[in-house]
Amino acid sequence: MENNLKINIIGGGVIGCIQAIELNKLGHHVTIYEKDTIGSGSSIYGAGILFPLLPNNYSSEVFDLIDKSKTYYLELSEILNSQFGIDIEYIRSGMTVILDDLQDIELWLKKNKLSFSLEKFRSFNAITIDDVYQINPKKLILGLQKYLDYLDIEIYENNLVSNDLHNEFIDSNGKKIIGDRFILASGAWTQDLDHSMHKKIYPVRGQLIEYKNSNNIKLEHILFKDGFYLLQRKNGSLIAGSTLENVGFDDNLTNQDLEQLKNNAEKIIPELRELDIINHWCGFRPGSKDNIPIIVQDKKIKEKFYNVGHYRYGISMAPASVNKLISLF
Ligand SMILES: Cc1cc2nc3c(=O)[nH]c(=O)nc-3n(C[C@H](O)[C@H](O)[C@H](O)COP(=O)(O)OP(=O)(O)OC[C@H]3O[C@@H](n4cnc5c(N)ncnc54)[C@H](O)[C@@H]3O)c2cc1C
């Protein structure tokens, strides 16, 4: 592979940031263009579970990318901690899936040689998958920003890139962006930049709430039931979510939405009713068919690459997706 290339990445989410770091390590000159601020697309709003919620519901491609990304986060958490004092809260939390019929998931776990135990959660039928990790996405983005600065990677924030009639990329000052490679890591907004992605990548809103844990409730594992999960941050607060909504980029959140989220969470742990909600937010996932990201070189413009459409698992899949894209150079 050539080195010392000038590479422009459009989008500063988890994919764009990790892509920039890994390309920099290979000796390339990397620039990130971000229309808002680093992480402010979907990445900062995630829950941070590094595992598919119901793994048997996805193709092996999805699990493969997640599985291959696992060790990266362990190493990254050590680097961010030792070099910049940022704890991304990389925790082996395990995940308890509550389900009436556990047969399919059990078979899947056996096939993939993952350790688990069949134990009831309260009165519910449940299975606990041991090797499930989580991180705190806000801390991850903070850490990645420090790392990018440390590596002297050029970042232009508040810089909306557009594509002109000649298929050239133009920055928000109207200047043509020059480079050897262009990587679209533009998440749910990709279709605005590239019409060929229309309907292939689309926003899927997800809402989460955070409970202040004044009663010291301790979650032993991430809990998942009826499409809804609960997890605990290192400071004890409890995160519950999430929704899957096709509402475009509408970020208006209502009290009704909040009540719905509370009801779902409190069906799993009724004691949550005693706690105050301290946050309610949403983000726009880059939706894609079957949750399979598009990691390809453009068929016509050889300098152009896509690393988009990571849907529900972009944090989990980022490191392996980045490596997959690099292998296409
Ligand atoms: C509620 C919720 C919970 C989630 N939970 C998890 C989880 O537990 N585990 C997990 O793995 N994933 C989770 N996700 C999904 C995960 O957040 C996404 O898959 C991931 O963040 C996608 O990363 P990205 O870098 O592709 O996109 P983004 O983070 O959206 O980054 C794309 C960036 O590109 C910028 N951009 C777009 N167009 C342009 C342009 N023309 N010019 C310049 N900049 C541009 C945007 O501003 C944005 O910052 C969750 C998401 C949500 C919303």
Q: What domains appear along the chain, each with residue ranges and CATH number? A: 1-92+133-201+289-329 (3.50.50.60)
CA of 243 to the centre of ligand 1 (A): 15
Nearest ligand 1 atom to alpha carbon 316: 11
pLDDT at 167: 86
Q: Fill in the amino acid letter for 206.
A: G
Q: In what order do the strands lie in the sheet with 238-241?
A: 116-118, 126-129, 95-98, 222-225, 228-232, 238-241, 202-211, 277-287
Q: Which tens digits make up the pLDDT trace of 125-166?
A: 999 999 999 999 999 999 999 999 999 999 999 999 999 888
CA of 284 to the centre of ligand 1 (A): 7
Q: Which tens digits make up the pLDDT trace of 253-307?
A: 999 999 999 999 999 999 999 999 999 999 999 999 999 999 999 999 999 999 9
pLDDT at 1 over 80: no
Q: Which tens digits make up the pLDDT trace of 170-207?
A: 999 999 999 999 999 999 999 999 999 999 999 999 99
Name the residue among 138, 179, 67 with its Cα closest to residue 281: 138
pLDDT at 238: 98
Angle at 314 between CA 201 and CA 97, to 5 degrees: 115
Name the residue among 42, 35, 24 with its Cα closest to residue 312: 42
Nearest ligand 1 atom to alpha carbon 229: 8
Q: Which tens digits make up the pLDDT trace of 24-79?
A: 999 999 999 999 999 999 999 999 999 999 999 999 999 999 999 999 999 999 99
105 Cβ neighbours under 8 A, 6+ residues apart: 54, 55, 56, 97, 99, 127
Query: How far apart, in Å, do the first and last CA atoms of the chain sit?
Result: 7
pLDDT at 118 over 90: yes
Site to substitute for ligand 1 among 50, 186, 200, 264, most atoms within 8 A of C-beta: 186
Tell me the average pLDDT of the chain: 96
313 Cβ neighbours under 8 A, 6+ residues apart: 52, 62, 65, 66, 291
Give Rg (Cα) of the chain: 20
Distances (CA, A) of 233 to 146, 151, 166, 244: 22, 29, 48, 22
Q: What are phi and psi of 304, to 5 degrees?
A: -100, 135
Site to substitute for ligand 1 among 10, 42, 204, most atoms within 8 A of C-beta: 42
Question: CB atoms < 10 A from the CB of 257, how many?
Answer: 17
Q: Which tens digits make up the pLDDT trace of 272-282?
A: 999 999 999 99
| 217-230 mean pLDDT | 96
